[in-house]
Amino acid sequence: MKDGPRPTEQPSQLNSQTPSIRTFELKEECGINNLPNQIMAKAISDGFVFNILCVGETACGKSSLLDSLFNTRLDSTPATHENARVYLRK
């Protein structure tokens, strides 16, 4: 069987003729298995916004639940539910 063409140079000569390859060390793991960690780190550094809909009867503790959940006083402006128009923000 024929193995194919063989280089005529010695291995040391081959290495000296090939261009040098830049290498660097990674600061953290890279790959699909590390994707959840990367997403969590980005969310922590950038912050995130979410909406919570809490419904219930008057004086059943909705505001107290949210205040204790986030360990802070969430201030909201009272709103009427009888708006005749819909306003769009630019």
Domain boundaries in the chain? Answer: 49-75
pTM: 0.38
Look up residue 22 and give its amino acid: R
Read off the pLDDT band of 77 (50, 70, 90). Answer: confident
Listed residue (81, 63, 82) closest to 73, CA to CA: 63
**Integer Cα distance of 10 and 56 in angstroms:** 82
Q: What is the DSSP letter of 59?
A: T
Phi-psi region of 56 (alpha: psi -120 to 50; beta: other; left: phi over 0): left
Task: Please tell me the predicted confidence (pLDDT) of residue 46.
Answer: 92
Look up residue 25 and give its amino acid: E
pLDDT above 70 covers a percentage of the chain that reads 74
pLDDT at 8 over 60: no
